[in-house]
Chains A and B, each alone.
Chain A
Amino acid sequence: MGMIGATLIRAGQRFLSSLPALFGVLVFTFLLMRVLPGDPAVFFASGPNAGKEEIEVIRKQLGLDKPMPEQLAIYLYDVGRGNLGRSMMTGQPVEKDLKERLPASLELTLTALLIALISAVPLGVVAALRPNSLIDHGVRLFCSLGVCVPTFVSGLLLIYVFYYLLGLAPDPTGRVDIFTTPPPARTGFLLIDFLLAGDLDGWWAAVRQLMLPAFTMALFVIAPLARITRASMLVSLGSEFVRTARSVGLSRWRIVVTYALRNAILPVITIAGIVFSTMLGANVLVEKVFSWPGVASYALDALLVSDYAPVQGFVLLMASVFVVVNLLVDVLYGIADPRATVA
């Protein structure tokens, strides 16, 4: 269809125009890392007693003795060839580390977003259908609590209730418990890999392991999604085309879902995109609480020891994810709203 074609063209243009921004991110992070206090050579020397010579040697190895512009040029050249450098922490190339850890983060974040959307949209709709009713106030209270309580508190609370008190959840460490043999890695997404391997028990174990951290993250973002759903649903329900729908006697379901909700969902798509990008980068607390081997906790660890390459790689990765998510939102929006392609 022409409409989808136009959307794709627009998405392509957006992608091209985001390349300079990605380049800017690259340079900026590079400089930022050099400005931050801390010398990686000192951290990675054999011990606190390492002599000056040893540190100098490491510095030479890392190329830190060269002038800054030259370092930047080398870095850009490497990135251009797809080489993000080697992590001093793990001793592995950064792209390998990220490739191992990104699926874990994505799996967690996507699940959390899905949970958040599935609960937030109906909550918002219900609240909008009866504004200022008991239900509306209940939703508001729930949302406020979700935002107010920091994720590390709600995470610990969930662990306390579901793991310690009720015993429903498994030991909240990592993606699978140590007794389960992980499936052969194909996509890196455990839920998919288990299914591909036909190991349903393993799949179920992974799901159970995923639930607590995912709900912890979802709790935090249900609030903005539910509020925006409620607000745009209120606008939609009060709009003239809903009045038209009522004037010809459409059924209530049709009015609420087909007419009101489908229009109201448009801003929710935009917000969901932003929320997803934020969650992916900012879920370091959840990853830490649940010992989740994700990219955010990896970057934090690297930052603490002034390990430049992983942090730079992480920021670049996040920027790229952001670009991709925005593109996705654009495409979705173009499909959901026929007016978008005109603008």
Chain B
Amino acid sequence: MSAPLLSIEDLNVTFSTRRGLVQAVRGVSLSLQPGEMLGLVGESGSGKSVTGFAVTRLLDKAGRIANGRILYKGQDITRASAADFRNLHGAAMAMIFQNPRAALNPIRAVGQQIADAILAHKRISSQEAREAALNLLRAVQIRDPERRMNAYPHELSGGMCQRVMIAIAISCNPQFLIADEPTTGLDVTTQKVVMDLLASIAAERGMATILITHDLGLAARYCSRVVVMEQGRLVEEAAPLTLFHAPQHPYTRRLVAASPTATSRVTDLVPDGELKPSIEVKDGSPPAHGTPPLLDVQRIVKRFDDGTAAVTDFSMTMTAGESVGLVGESGSGKSTTSRMICRLIDPSEGEILFDGYSISKIPARDFHRSPSRKDIQIVFQDPNDSLNPRFTAFDCIAHPLLRLLRMRSGDALRQRVEECAHRVGLPKELLSRFPHQLSGGQKARVGIARAIACSPRLLVLDEPTAALDVSVQAVVLQLLDRLRREDNLAFLFVSHDLNVVRMMCDRTIVLRAGGIVEQGESRALFANPRTDYTRELVDAVPHIGAPAALVPA
């Protein structure tokens, strides 16, 4: 093996916070060969991003490399002066970031931003820099690059912004690239396109890449070597197949188990989980003939004021206790549809029958007064923003009880809230805490407890685990599945994660551009997609176990 391009030796990074020094990275050592793609996998707080930022010296002001060396081509760059480092930035190393739109200057044309990066290292005229920028836009396969040169980030999609970001990163031919969660927040199909592009550019230019991700499948698909980090430590390092089929470290084992795959079931996610499927499964005798379905959506349409239609024609029925998944790319109308069904927005046309009664006639603005409100509850995507920061966990859960069931403050209320908290596995002591004092998983539990507080019959879940780490997601999914079975709840599960939907839902509806493309029993639908669109979606999901994809050259 040749000399490593980059080697990190016993790296320690500390952050000074109000509560004293926090060790974010503890003694990490790893090396990167020229042209290699290395996966750095871990959950939030594992120190994987901090490691990346330490290498590129982009740590926050509070962060400091306390110990260790970072050798780039044999030179310790932790001691390089700011001026020397400025030459390394871009020309030797570059980075691409998680949220591509925020990572681009919102009021500067993207072509200009690429040109800025080029001009920082090359003494050429600005006209030549623009030419070079245009060529880079072509290299990252942006359609109509001449026009896009003058576009602003808000005029581009997330995937396009990430391509621009890649163009900026490779503009000065760096030796290696650190990609920090480059596709988190993008659709599966966009994710595949962006990752394929990144891999092919890296291969073409012989550029080494460190792929920082929480997605084991993604790392498995693109990396030749994967490093797993936990709480600032490096716990395991292996080739992806070895790692996923024979994980050594207990943490890796847990992580691998928690990652939903094409075959996993909810009960497999947490091997030594808190719950076994020992709960009575009420299979719910088929409803007597003639009873209306729980939910009957008839040809709803949503048009916005400017005439664009988010949902063109959507119909579905659901019986009590059934779980239905709603999948599709962003912009497919899945969130709009779910919001119409849970009556947060009004459909432009069509009818929604709940229990045989039309609920689409009641304006969304007044629906909170309808008796059906307590029957249809929602679990929101972002557990942070969907909780009132000035409400304690107790207040959050009690709120629907006070408003919808007209309960009074007192022992009965307290008892009910504690019961809900108990059911979602939230310790009683945490009820007096405010959202910012809770972890992501705990906040998700509060959100779920709030939704089930009024004993609803239909729960609309809008990407309920998208913001959570896989191991937390695993526990939350199990919790949701158990609640559903215990209460014979119906789930409308909106998600972009096909593996999650496959596990959680009996039936799946695939949406595209506001219309239904395909629907059917989940496993069958994903095993044998009937339309190209669904097949594309399914293929785009990175699977663990599939042989590492050949890097397309």
Interface flag for B120 (CB, 8 Å): yes
Hey, which chain A residues are within 8 Å of B95, CB to CB? Answer: 244, 247
- Indicate whether A66 reaches chain B with its CB closer than 8 angstroms: no
Contact A245 B105 (CB under 8 A): yes
**Are the C-beta atoms of A342 and B116 separated by less than 8 Å?**
no
| Residue pair B107, A249 in contact (C-beta under 8 Å) | no
A258 interface residue per 8 A CB criterion: yes
On whether the beta carbons of B97 and A240 are closer than 8 Å, the reply is yes
Q: Which B residues between 105 and 121 are near A, CB-CB below 8 angstroms?
A: 105-108, 116-117, 120-121
Question: Once the chains bind, are A249 and B102 in contact (CB under 8 Å)?
Answer: no
Does B41 lie at the interface of the complex (its beta carbon under 8 Å from any beta carbon of A)?
no
What per-residue 1/0 map shows which CB atoms of A248-284 lie under 8 Å from chain B?
1111001000110011001000000000000000000
Cβ of B126 to closest chain A Cβ, rounded Å: 13
Interchain CA distance A239-B99 in the complex, whole Å: 11
Bound-state CA distance A30–B172 (Å) is 68
Most buried by B among A249, A254, A263, A338: A249
Q: Beta-carbon contacts of B147-176 to A below 8 Å, as 1s and 0s?
A: 000001010000000000100110110000
Quick check: is A337 within 8 A (CB to CB) of the other chain?
A: yes
Contact A243–B88 (Cβ < 8 Å):
no
How many residues does chain A have at the interface if contact means C-beta atoms less than 8 Å apart? Answer: 23
Bound-complex Cα distance A336 to B32 (A): 43
A241 interfacial by beta-carbon distance below 8 Å: yes
Chain A residue contacts of B503, Cβ below 8 A = none
- Which chain A residue lies CB-closest to B60? A238
B230 to chain A, nearest CB (A): 25
B465 within 8 A of A: no
Contact of B105 among A251, A259, A266, A336 (CB under 8 A): A259
Chain A residues with CB below 8 A from B97, complex form:
240, 243-244
CB distance from B85 to the nearest CB of A (A): 8
Does the CB pair B106–A248 fall under 8 Å? Answer: no
The answer to whether A248 touches B107, judged by C-beta atoms less than 8 angstroms apart, is: no
> Is A34 part of the binding interface, using a Cβ–Cβ cutoff of 8 Å?
no
Question: Which residues does chain B contribute within 8 Å of A258, judged by CB atoms?
Answer: 108, 116
Is A81 an interface residue when CB atoms closer than 8 A count as contact? no
A246 contacts the other chain (Cβ, under 8 Å)? yes
A239 to B120, CA, bound (A): 20
Per-residue A-contact encoding for B80-114, CB less than 8 Å = 1, 0 else: 00000111111100110101001111111000000
Q: Per DSSP, are chain A's interface residues mostly helix, strand or loop, or mixed?
A: helix
Residues on B with C-beta less than 8 A from A244 are 95, 97, 103-105, 165, 168
Q: Does B405 sit within 8 A of A, measured CB to CB? A: no
Residues of B within 8 A of A248 (CB): 89-90, 94, 116-117, 120, 168-169, 171-172
Interface status of B499 (Cβ within 8 A of chain A):
no
Within the complex, which residue of A241, A246, A249, A251 is in contact with B106, where a contact is CB–CB below 8 Å?
A241
B319 at the interface (CB under 8 A from A): no
Interface check A52, CB cutoff 8 A: no
List 29 contacting pairs A-B, 8 Å CB cutoff, sorted by A: A239-B102, A240-B97, A241-B102, A243-B58, A243-B97, A244-B95, A244-B97, A244-B104, A245-B105, A247-B56, A247-B58, A247-B95, A248-B117, A248-B120, A248-B169, A249-B90, A249-B172, A250-B120, A251-B86, A251-B120, A258-B108, A258-B116, A259-B105, A262-B108, A263-B107, A266-B107, A337-B107, A338-B107, A339-B154
- Which residue numbers of B lie inside 8 Å of A, CB to CB? 56, 58, 85-91, 94-95, 97, 99, 102-108, 116-117, 120-121, 152, 154, 165, 168-169, 171-172
Binding site for B on A (CB under 8 A): 239-241, 243-251, 254, 258-259, 262-263, 266, 336-339, 342
